[in-house]
Structure 1
Amino acid sequence: MKQKDENGFGVATAPDEVRFERYLPGPVERIWSYLTEADKRRRWLAGGEMEPRAGGSAKLLFRHSEFTDEDPPEVYREMNEKGFLSEGRILAWDAPRFLAMTWPGDGADSQVEFELFPEGERVLLVVTHKRLADREEMINVSGGWHAHLTVLQAVLAGEKAPPFWSQIAALETAYAARFNEQ
């Protein structure tokens, strides 16, 4: 299956897996800190502490109001205002190159991997979300990762984060169409 999309969309690399690639301004230690340090990670994804070791806990506190002023859809309103705590487990921690963790879902946990590849002054970030339960979950996480990675790119560039919630609906529609073609 295809490994990369030239327009920044995630690519289904297996029936239960989606992969994203983003070039970010380095150095690699900077990008690692935005993946692993709660105060930096909350600016684009979720706060919460991680134990820096395989087997450690990974607590992600999602509070989107920390990086977007846009009103959320009703279905996400409570999560946006009060926050939502997701508790996973670190599967691999190889600073500053590779981080893998469980990602709690409605059924069985899925798995997220972050790989960092220094390329001159840039870093290639590869995010792979594996063991997704079904097509609907793949569409949902794909829209979410795409929007969150767009916020990360803006934060690292010192720019205002783009609207978040309005991206989600459009991205989920785009991913549904893309995954129907595959």
Structure 2
Amino acid sequence: MTEVATLDAYGVLTEPATLKIQRLLPGPIERVWAYLTESDLRRQWLAAGQMEMRVGAAFELVWRNDALTSPPGERPTGFPDEHRMQSRITELDPPRRLAIAWQGSGDVSFELEPQGSEVLLTVIHRRLPDRATMLMIGAGWHMHLDILVARATGKEPEPFWDGWRRLKREYDRRLPA
């Protein structure tokens, strides 16, 4: 039985170190692809960073989570106001699949599948090093995708850090110890 993606579906472990999370977004597929690949759109829900659209291309992602929502909520202790990560495109099949190697925290793939007037976005984060990282990344992907859904549907998302804290507690409860 396949789990149906909803606007607030939780990520699930498909293997011990692999998190899968899905969202349905308003189409067309090219619009959702632009939110993944264009820095100005991606920075509104995840991280900025210009990408050269070719396999092997290196780029830098720059997270500024305080700028994603207004207000941002209270940033947890130990989180910088900006985080930079070297990345590299490992797979590219526009506008259906993008896979990226993330420095120090595994690999991420984005798959897009048209479903009528909507697009199913599947994010798979592989090779998560430990449970603490899984909880942070599970809550992070969930919150970032909630913001993407809000941006794509013209709604106002909840404050980033408030949502992230709530989701981290929920992922702690849901993911096996």
TM-score normalised to structure 1 length: 0.89
Aligned to 1:32: 33
Match for residue 119 of structure 1?
115
State the percentage of identical aligned residues. Answer: 40
**Aligned match of 1:174:** 170
Whose helix fraction is larger, Structure 1's or Structure 2's? 1
1:48 alignment partner, SS class: coil
1:61 aligned to 2:57?
Answer: no
SS in 2 for 1:159: coil
Structure number with greater CO (CA < 8 Å, separation at least 6) is 2
1:120-147 deviations in Å (ceiling 9; x for gaps): 1100000000011111111111000000
Q: CA deviation at 1:161?
A: 2.4
Structure-2 residue corresponding to 1:73: 76
Q: Deviations over 1:37-68 (max 9, x none)?
A: 00000000011111211100131111123222
Aligned partner of 1:84 in structure 2 is 83
Cα separation, 2, equivalents of 1:3 and 1:55: 33
Residue 134 (structure 2) pairs with residue 131 (structure 1): no
Are 1:95 and 2:91 an aligned pair?
no
Distance 1:20 1:162 in 2: 19
Q: Secondary structure at the match of 1:74?
A: coil
For residue 28 of structure 1, what is the amino acid of its counterpart? I
Q: Secondary structure at the match of 1:46?
A: coil
SS of match in other structure, 1:59: strand
How many pairs are equivalent? 173
Q: 1:4·1:21 contact (CA, 8 Å) conserved in 2?
A: no
Counterpart CA distance in 1 for 2:54 and 2:113 is 20
Q: Which runs of 4+ in 1 moved over 3 A?
A: 2-7
Q: How far apart are the structure 2 equivalents of 1:61 and 1:50?
A: 12
Counterpart Cα distance in 2 of 1:13 and 1:36: 25
Q: Give the conservation status (yes or no) of the 8 Å contact 2:66–2:160.
A: no
Any unmatched runs of 5+ in structure 2? none
Distance 1:111 1:84, change over 3 A: same
TM-score (norm 2): 0.91
| Alpha-carbon contact 1:10-1:21 (below 8 Å) kept | yes
2-structure distance, mates of 1:120, 1:5: 15
Contact 1:98/1:116 (8 A) holds in 2: yes
Q: CA deviation at 1:5?
A: 6.5
Give the 3-state SS of the residue equivalent to 2:157 in structure 1.
Answer: coil
